[in-house]
C-alpha cells in the first residue's frame, strides 16, 4: 500500500499517542492529534477555544442523544454554526482533507468513522488493563494511583460518549477496527512492528 492513513483510537494511559508518534517517526509520515483543533478553527473561523471545550467529549456525557455525523456543515449565519455537531463536522472535514493529501497518522476524534469509506485506512484501537494504564499515567502525567484511576475512568467515559454521539456506534466495539492491541501484553515497540507489518500485507 503506497498511501495509507492510520487512525488510532486509544484508552487513556494505554500508550496510543506514544505509539502514534513512534509510527510517525519510523514511517516518516505526519502525526495529527490536537493540531486538528487549530486546523478546524482556522478553516471555520470559529474560536479555537470552542473546539477545545468539545474535544472528545459531549456536554450531555453518556446521556447525550446521538447526533450522528452526516457530512453536512451549518452556514455561518445559522443558529447551529457553533453547535457540537458543526464543530465535529469541521474537524471531520480537516481529517478528510489530510487523508486526501497523503499518508498520515490521526489520533482519536472518530477518524476511523469519518474515513470509514476509504480503502486506504488502517483502523487501530490501543487499550490496556487498569494497572497498566495507571502505571503509564503516573510516568507520563505524574498522577498518583488514585488520581490516575479517576482520570482514566473520566476520560474513557468522555471518549465513549463522544464516539457514540457522533457515530452511533460503541467506541470499544472491536468491529470498528482492523487491529486491537493490548499494551498490557505488548510493548509499544511490538505494537509499532505489528502495525507496520499489517501495512505491508494489505
In angstroms, the CA 173 to CA 136 distance is: 23
- DSSP secondary-structure letter at 115? T
Domain that includes residue 180, residue range: 5-201
Query: Any idea what the CATH number is for the domain that residue 190 is in?
Result: 3.40.50.300
Residue 116 has pLDDT above 90, yes or no: yes
- Arithmetic mean of pLDDT, 142-156: 95
The pLDDT assigned to 24 comes to 98
pTM to 2 decimal places = 0.93
CB 15 within 8 A of CB 189: no
- Arithmetic mean of pLDDT, 85-114: 96
Grid cell digits, residue 14: 494505554
Count the domains in the chain. 1
Is 47 exposed, middle or buried (CB count within 10 Å of its CB: 0-12, 13-18, 19+)?
exposed
The pLDDT assigned to 55 comes to 92
- Arithmetic mean of pLDDT, 152-171: 96
Under the banding of pLDDT at 50, 70 and 90, the label for residue 26 is very high
The pLDDT assigned to 159 comes to 96
Which of 63, 89, 65 minimizes the C-alpha distance to 76?
89
Alpha helices in 61-178 (DSSP H): 84-101, 111-114, 130-141, 145-167
Amino acid at each position: 500500500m503506497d498511501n495509507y492513513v492510520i487512525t488510532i483510537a486509544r484508552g487513556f494511559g494505554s500508550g496510543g499517542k506514544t505509539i502514534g508518534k513512534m509510527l510517525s517517526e519510523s514511517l516518516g509520515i505526519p502525526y495529527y492529534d490536537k493540531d486538528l483543533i487549530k486546523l478546524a478553527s482556522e478553516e471555520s473561523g470559529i474560536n479555537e477555544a470552542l473546539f477545545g471545550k468539545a474535544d472528545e467529549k459531549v456536554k450531555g456525557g453518556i446521556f447525550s442523544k446521538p447526533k450522528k455525523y452526516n457530512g453536512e456543515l451549518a452556514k455561518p449565519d445559522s443558529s447551529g454554526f457553533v453547535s457540537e455537531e458543526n464543530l465535529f463536522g469541521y474537524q471531520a472535514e480537516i481529517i478528510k482533507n489530510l487523508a486526501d493529501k497523503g499518508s498520515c497518522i490521526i489520533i482519536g476524534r472518530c477518524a476511523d468513522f469519518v474515513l470509514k469509506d476509504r480503502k486506504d485506512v488502517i483502523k487501530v484501537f490501543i487499550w490496556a488493563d487498569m494497572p497498566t494504564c495507571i502505571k503509564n499515567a503516573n510516568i507520563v502525567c505524574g498522577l498518583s494511583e488514585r488520581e490516575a484511576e479517576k482520570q482514566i475512568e473520566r476520560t474513557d467515559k468522555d471518549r465513549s460518549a463522544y464516539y457514540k454521539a457522533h457515530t452511533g456506534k460503541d467506541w470499544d466495539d472491536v468491529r470498528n477496527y482492523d487491529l486491537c492491541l493490548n499494551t498490557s501484553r505488548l510493548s509499544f515497540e511490538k505494537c509499532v512492528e505489528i502495525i507496520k507489518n499489517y501495512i505491508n500485507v494489505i
